[in-house]
């Protein structure tokens, strides 16, 4: 009897510790989810699901997920997106991040920075890294290139070979490739594609996202 009671208490204690750990490591919430979005260990993420640091988020071919982090940062992932919440470290106040690092792979994303210091944010793409200043932007990885268009604020994109470009004007875009080349910031009407092509290169740009 004593062994059974001890075993039950051990299980209950483990569940409690797991629950507390989950609560402590939750860094945001899924605001809404369309179709299928999965997270850590292939769990299905639903509306109001918590998300945690080091979680890999994947969207299926028609998935769309809206996420809000505890510092007010917003992230939208589009169809086919693969992104890792790589390193999110809280400041002592518990409501902003000392470090906020995302690693993006395939797919389309919209990012809107929150209340953390701008120096906390870093976004790593397959072809370079982004530093942001009070920023909202859309980004898509397509056939070995990263396409980025500014919605507001300022973005500095640096290739892994050391080339950097800063985007300051709303709707300016850049294209970066695996060879370390980054195009100069341009408006769609002046760039390598026409405005009608936004639906291909910036899947989320023409959707009414907030």
CATH 3.90.1420.10 describes domain 28-201: no
Rounded Cα distance between 140 and 173, Å, is 11
Do residues 48 and 65 make contact, with C-beta atoms less than 8 angstroms apart? no
The domain spans of the chain are: 28-201
At residue 143, the pLDDT reads: 87
- Token reading at 177: 């490739």
Do residues 114 and 69 make contact, with C-beta atoms less than 8 angstroms apart? yes
Q: What is the pTM of this model?
A: 0.83
Rounded Cα distance between 136 and 153, Å, is 6
At residue 1, the pLDDT reads: 55
Segment-wise mean pLDDT, segments of 10 residues, the chain, 210 residues: 47 39 71 94 95 95 95 95 93 90 93 95 95 92 92 95 94 93 87 65 67
Rounded Cα distance between 155 and 162, Å, is 16
At residue 18, the pLDDT reads: 37
Rounded Cα distance between 141 and 146, Å, is 5
């Amino acid at each position: 009897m004593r062994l059974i009671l001890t075993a039950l208490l051990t299980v209950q204690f483990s569940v409690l510790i797991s629950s507390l750990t989950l609560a402590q490591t939750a860094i945001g919430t899924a605001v809404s989810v369309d179709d299928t979005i999965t997270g850590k260990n292939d769990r299905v993420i639903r509306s109001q699901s918590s998300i945690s640091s080091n979680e890999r988020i994947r969207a299926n071919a028609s998935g769309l997920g809206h996420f809000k982090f505890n510092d007010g940062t917003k992230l939208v992932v589009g169809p086919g997106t693969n992104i890792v919440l790589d390193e999110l470290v809280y400041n002592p106040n518990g409501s902003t991040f000392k470090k906020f690092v995302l690693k993006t792979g395939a797919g389309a994303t919209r990012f809107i920075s929150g209340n953390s210091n701008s120096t906390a944010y870093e976004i790593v793409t397959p072809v370079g890294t982004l530093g942001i200043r009070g920023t909202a932007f859309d980004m898509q990885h397509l056939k070995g290139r990263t396409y980025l268009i500014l919605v507001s604020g300022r973005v500095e994109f640096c290739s892994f070979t050391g080339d950097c470009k800063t985007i300051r004007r709303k709707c300016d875009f850049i294209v970066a490739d695996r060879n370390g080349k980054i195009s100069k910031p341009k408006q769609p009407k002046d760039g390598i594609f026409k405005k009608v092509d936004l639906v291909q290169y910036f899947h989320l740009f023409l959707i009414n996202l907030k």
